[in-house]
Amino acid sequence: MFETILIANRGEIACRVIATCRRLGIRTIAVYSDADANSRHVRLANAAVRIGPPPARESYLAIDRILDAAFMSRAQAIHPGYGFLSENAEFAEACARAGVVFIGPPPAAIRAMGSKAAARELMRNAGVPLTPGYDGTNHDANQGAAFLEQQAGVIGYPVMIKANAGGGGKGMRRVDACEQFQAALASCKREASAAFGDDSVLLEKFLVAPRHVEVQVFGDTHGNVVSIFERDCSVQRRHQKVIEEAPAPLIIEAQREALGKAAREAARAVGYVGAGTVEFLFDRDGNFYFMEMNTRLQVEHPVTEMITGLDLVEWQLRVAAGEPLPLRQEELTMRGHAIEARIYAEDPKNDFLPSIGELVHLRAPAMSEHLRIDTGVEQGDTITPFYDPMIAKLIVWDDTRALAVRRLSAALSEYQIVGVTNNVEFLHRLVSSPSFRDASLDTDLIEREKNWIWPRHTECSDTALLFAVLKVVCGEAAPATGRSSPWAARDGWRLNGSYKRRLEFTQPDRELSATVEFGANEYRVTIGEATYRVSAELREEGRIDAVIDQQRISATVIDDHKRLYVFTGWQTCIFVYIDPLAVAAEGHSAESSLRAPMPGRVVAQQVQPGERVEKGAPLMILEAMKMECTIHAPAAGRVEAFHFSVGDQVGEGAELLHFERDEPQAQEEEN
């Protein structure tokens, strides 16, 4: 076994590898960019080496810098994690030339499965069912836009455009009609070129509402290959997985055996070694089709570990060290059900745009044999615009799926995050939706359950507002002057024998107020027509223990620049406290739709300066975190000037262009 390994990655997966290495007594070397100098994986490793500035191409994707770090630290092997260089055949070959073991498959296997077109050809020869499509054979000669549009017509709409070198949901576009094809193709090629350095694509028939089921495979250098059951990854947004579970619900034993056999044959066809995943799509009739093979450890591997009791990272290390697989196919067993939810710094209500900033408050549920959290951040860390905005993976296990769903829902209700917009509430509603609870899983689940997941009206309870009031009057939400609040005094002093105060708050769609009176060691708080008798005690980390009308209730309230985040367990609410001493309350001014919603790079301008456009027309495209965001015209009008050129970096909130709306009369005449 190795004595020292270098982890050529960051964040959650680097921390995950470190955990196994610690248990096995293996020394770990972290690498970091300037943006990650104080990151959790750097703090956990035995040593760490700087490899460059924040952009991934100058650090985590820089092969020479990674190998220099390995040489400097005398590492015997390199674990690539997932993403970055994990599926890069050139990196695997460079490791071999440098005399360092690459903890992954052989370069030939990476190349064979790294090209979706080549992988489809291999599977076709192996007799594995494929979805109809254009594989891009001779793709160098046949990547013309007109030719590809013609092929899409032959396949029949809807079709899926896929980056040939893609993965992780990047470089994929669904096209429902021929008039949408060229714009989708151009966008897909831009994203593929930026993310993978290869803009070639293939086309596949789009299966409506399929299930996405994948099989974990493992091979060793002794010719052994096993499949370690399957995972259902159907619940997705923007072709990226949100919830994963194992085993896949409603899969009968005959299907499980057929899937496992097909996955093992796929691995054998390329001489596979190490951890890999063979992915399939199920149609509504239960037929499955090969989609792709990922030649690395997957983000969702913990659910397989939870139902089998295995440590797949340990298996990777042992196989890379030349040992045979620890178990044979017939020795593999599973028990119970596991579900993983990916917690991201993103805004589900704003097309899942990434969010950046400091994790001002981060509290997770307690880990146990039933609950596991894989994370690369801690409270006080910062989510930057340079990398994937994952905060954590929350994994639960129980004897049955129903119990696991209930356990996941409870764990999500305990998760508290302040400082970045996040998807915890979205996930909680998602796992509570009828389709998810009934295991009616497919890739359209989120769209199908949108009214459940995004209800039109979600008013916060009086109880939540009561806790916001308590946070203010107990002196924890002091005015901007920094002076402690006189309302926090408990010495019995009264001005003219009375204590009465009106507090005002806002939320995005309404204004709220409460009147507070104090007497006999308790507050009388009036909200609307209701009056509550309340006493409270402040605890550490924002916890408030209260008695409301003789009912004992606790909540956590975090003050982030007068935004009060109230976590009650069954509800999370945000109230903006209107400080009467401030000139204006935070949050009152509406953000222009022509400002950058996130930090990023300008990748395209869709119109010319001076051009008149209709409402909703695309004006400019930004790219950040390997994701594109289109800026649309807020009304009919004219683009007078762009403030940034293609290739420029822009900060969040930057005014992107000067837009003049049409006069109301002109718009009425057109209507």
Q: Over 70: is that where the pLDDT of 246 sits?
A: yes
Helix 401-414 / helix 424-432 crossing angle, nearest 10 deg? 150
Instruction: Please check whether residue 108 lies inside any domain of the structure.
Output: no
Q: Over 50: is that where the pLDDT of 587 sits?
A: no
Higher pLDDT, 411 or 615: 411
pLDDT level of residue 496 (50, 70, 90 thresholds):
very low
Which whole number is the average pLDDT over 333-345?
97
- Given 173, 231, 264, 296, the catalytic residue: 296
Residues 146, 74, single domain; the answer is: no
Pick the last residue of a domain from 205, 228, 263. Answer: 205
Instruction: Please check whether residue 65 lies inside any domain of the structure.
Output: yes
CATH number of the domain within which 93 lies: 3.40.50.20
Please give the order of strands across the beta sheet that includes 618-624: 627-632, 618-624, 600-605, 649-650
Residues 571, 648, single domain; the answer is: no
Structure tokens given for 40: 């959790």
Active site residue 296: yes
Pick the last residue of a domain from 205, 236, 265. Answer: 205
Q: Over 60: is that where the pLDDT of 230 sits?
A: yes
Residues 137, 236, single domain; the answer is: no
CA 611 to each of CA 111, 358, 616: distance values in angstroms, whole numbers, following the listed order = 46, 40, 14
Model confidence over 528-571: pLDDT tens digits? 999 999 999 888 889 999 999 999 999 999 998 888 999 998 78
Work out how many domains the chain is built from and give that number. 5
Report yes or no: 202 and 173 within 8 Å, Cβ to Cβ.
no
Model confidence over 59-112: pLDDT tens digits? 999 999 999 999 999 999 999 999 999 999 999 999 999 999 999 999 999 998
Residues 469, 491, single domain; the answer is: yes
Residues 219, 178, single domain; the answer is: no
Model confidence over 17-64: pLDDT tens digits? 999 999 999 999 999 999 999 999 999 999 999 999 999 999 999 999
pLDDT at res. 108: 93
Instruction: Please check whether residue 37 lies inside any domain of the structure.
Output: yes
Instruction: Please check whether residue 49 lies inside any domain of the structure.
Output: yes
Pick the last residue of a domain from 205, 220, 251. Answer: 205
Domain span at residue 516 reads 462-577
Which whole number is the average pLDDT over 314-331?
98
**Rounded CA separation 640/81 (Å):** 47
pLDDT at res. 168: 65
Higher pLDDT, 195 or 322: 322
Residues 299, 163, single domain; the answer is: no
In whole numbers, what is the pLDDT of the chain averaged over residues?
88
pLDDT at res. 492: 43
Cis peptide before 55 (omega within 30 of 0): no
Model confidence over 425-438: pLDDT tens digits? 999 999 999 999 99
Report yes or no: 6 and 75 within 8 Å, Cβ to Cβ.
yes
pLDDT level of residue 632 (50, 70, 90 thresholds):
confident
Instruction: Please check whether residue 582 lies inside any domain of the structure.
Output: no
Residues 279, 334, single domain; the answer is: yes
CATH number of the domain within which 567 lies: 3.30.700.30
Instruction: Please check whether residue 664 lies inside any domain of the structure.
Output: yes
pLDDT level of residue 582 (50, 70, 90 thresholds):
low
pLDDT level of residue 161 (50, 70, 90 thresholds):
very high
CATH number of the domain within which 151 lies: 3.30.1490.20
pLDDT at res. 7: 98
| One-letter identity of residue 659 | F
Q: Over 60: is that where the pLDDT of 140 sits?
A: no
Residues 295, 430, single domain; the answer is: yes
Q: Which residues are paired to 134 by β-bridges? A: 203
Model confidence over 262-291: pLDDT tens digits? 999 999 988 999 999 999 999 888 889 998
Instruction: Please check whether residue 124 lies inside any domain of the structure.
Output: no
Instruction: Please check whether residue 481 lies inside any domain of the structure.
Output: yes
Which whole number is the average pLDDT over 184-210?
88
Q: Which residues are paired to 288 by β-bridges? A: 282
pLDDT at res. 586: 38
Residues 287, 315, single domain; the answer is: yes
Model confidence over 648-667: pLDDT tens digits? 888 767 889 999 888 765 44
Residues 413, 346, single domain; the answer is: yes
DSSP 8-state symbol, 550: T
Residues 493, 609, single domain; the answer is: no
Task: Give the best-scoring range by mean pLDDT among 189-198, 255-264, 347-356, 589-598.
Answer: 255-264
Cis peptide before 247 (omega within 30 of 0): yes
Residues 530, 663, single domain; the answer is: no
Q: Compute φ and ψ for 86, nearest 5 degrees.
A: -65, -30
